[in-house]
Amino acid sequence: MSIDTSLIAAKTVISAKGDGPAVDVSAAANRVFLLTLAITKIVEQESLDVSIYGSADGTAWSPKSLVAFSQKFYCGESPLLLDLKAHPEVKFVRTHWEVARWGRGTETAMFEFCVTIKEVPADILREATTEAKAMA
């Protein structure tokens, strides 16, 4: 079974820090995933920090994030690879976000965004690794 789902549903609107639901990735044949952060609406003078945490049971979460997107200020899509091969204990992942707002106007941040996770097939990963080594 290949993992291809949302960590944060499309058109989710947030104004404060929070966490997404636990998503079970234990059925993944290959433990490398492509994460995509898509910001569809934003107001000026604010930032969004999105990171991914892992868990063995879906209850107790890692103290440090497994990966994090770079801080975002604008609409757009950003890809990020999550490689869980070095974390065999991780069976669940979830998204955590922090928001900040500054400047004039309302002090409440507003982001509309989503985060998707898609398992990278082993053959595509092998091909990309081979190409990267050839270019090095």
Cα of first residue to Cα of last residue in the chain, in angstroms, is 33
Rounded mean pLDDT of 42-70? 94
- 123: tokens are 């053959």
Q: Given the structure tokens 């928001």, which residue do they identify?
A: 99
pLDDT at 1 over 70: no
Q: Does domain 4-135 have CATH number 2.60.120.10?
A: no
To the question of pTM greater than 0.85 for the whole model, the response is yes
- 45: tokens are 């003078």
Length of the chain: 136
Rounded mean pLDDT of 52-74? 96
pLDDT at 101 over 90: no
